[in-house]
């Protein structure tokens, strides 16, 4: 038999435990609320940071484009083509903001190329060509010091490499070339061929596809050419007109 004193003591103890549990629960709720606030603030900060990166990248891209007037919105078109092609090979890589940044900023190094060379119609002299080719390393130098743009910098550095190893600046071959740079090279060719220049009219999409296919395995990664092949004309046309 439990005496009434013992019963009262037990009740008291139970009540104390209940209060303790209640206060622990409240404390946990407070922690959870604090954490939610911290996460919310962190997310807002990350978004702000990423928006400021996008704005900076766009500003830099425009700085290059205004000097290269005849190519119009080349960087944006080529980035759109490049992302479409990359998505068909490696969707995760395409979703990384740095991939788009690298595409948009591929020619940022041209800010250091004198107007006389930048605007001169081909062919360039050997010395002019040597200077022009420096834009990949200059671009890489500009970006590689910026945190969060290291991968974009490697795309900028490698965007004129060729699958057969005959490109520049490092003469990388095959899969030594970062995949994003291999995809970019095809996108760049597609845009160059289908855009009119002072010395030649724009070619059709079909003609562009043919000349790019002909360079699969030499200038371009065959897998990337295949990815372009599997992209319908309608998608490319939509990207070109900026509706993509």
* Residues found near Fe ion in the complex (CB under 5 A): 107
Q: Supply the minimum distance, in Å, between the C-beta of residue 187 and Fe ion.
A: 12
What is the C-alpha to C-alpha distance for residues 154 and 7, in angstroms, rounded to an integer? 76
Among residues 187, 160, 156, 180, the alpha carbon closest in space to that of 172 is found at 160
Closer residue to Fe ion in complex, CB, 53/168: 168
**Least distance to Fe ion from the beta carbon of 107, Å?**
5
Give the largest Cα separation in the chain, rounded.
109
Q: Is the peptide bond before 123 cis (omega within 30 degrees of 0)?
A: yes
Query: Residue 207 Cβ, how far from Fe ion at the closest point, in Å?
Result: 22
Neighbours of 232 (CB within 10 A): 8
Q: Which residue is nearest to Fe ion (CB)?
A: 107
Q: How far is the CB of 232 from Fe ion (least distance, A)?
A: 27
CB of 68 to Fe ion, least distance (A): 10
Q: How far is the CB of 72 from Fe ion (least distance, A)?
A: 16
Q: How far is CA 243 from the centre of its chain?
A: 19
DSSP letter string over 172-214?
Answer: --GGGS-HHHHHHHHHHHHHHHTS-BTTBPPPPHHHHHHHHHH
Name the DSSP class of 221: -
Smaller CB separation from Fe ion, 84 or 107: 107
Closer CB to Fe ion, residue 192 or residue 203?
A: 192
C-beta of 93 vs 192, nearer to Fe ion: 192
Q: Which is nearer to Fe ion, 138 or 226 (CB)?
A: 138
Nearer to Fe ion, 94 or 113 (CB): 113
Cα–Cα dist 102/78, whole Å = 11
The terminus-to-terminus CA distance of the chain in angstroms comes to 82
């Amino acid at each position: 038999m439990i005496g009434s004193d013992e019963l009262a003591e037990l009740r008291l103890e139970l009540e104390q435990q209940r209060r303790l549990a209640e206060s622990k629960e409240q404390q946990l709720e407070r922690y959870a609320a604090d954490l939610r606030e911290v996460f919310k603030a962190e997310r807002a900060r990350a978004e702000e940071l990423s928006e400021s990166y996008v704005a900076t990248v766009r500003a830099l891209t425009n700085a290059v484009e205004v000097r290269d007037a005849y190519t119009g919105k080349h960087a944006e078109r080529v980035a759109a083509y490049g992302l479409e092609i990359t998505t068909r090979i490696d969707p995760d890589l395409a979703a990384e903001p740095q991939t788009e940044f690298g595409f948009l900023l591929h020619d940022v190094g041209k800010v250091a190329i004198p107007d006389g060379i930048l605007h001169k119609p081909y062919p360039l002299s050997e010395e002019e060509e040597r200077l022009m080719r420096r834009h990949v390393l200059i671009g890489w130098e500009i970006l590689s010091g910026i945190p969060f743009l290291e991968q974009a910098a490697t795309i900028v550095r490698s965007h004129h490499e060729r699958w057969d190893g005959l490109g520049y600046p490092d003469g990388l071959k095959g899969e030594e070339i970062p995949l994003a740079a291999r995809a970019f090279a095809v996108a760049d060719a597609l845009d160059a061929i289908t855009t009119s220049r002072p010395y030649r009219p724009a070619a059709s999409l079909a003609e562009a596809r043919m000349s790019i296919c002909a360079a699969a395995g030499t200038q371009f990664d065959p897998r990337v050419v295949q990815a372009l092949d599997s992209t319908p004309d309608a998608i490319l046309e939509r990207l070109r007109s900026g509706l993509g």
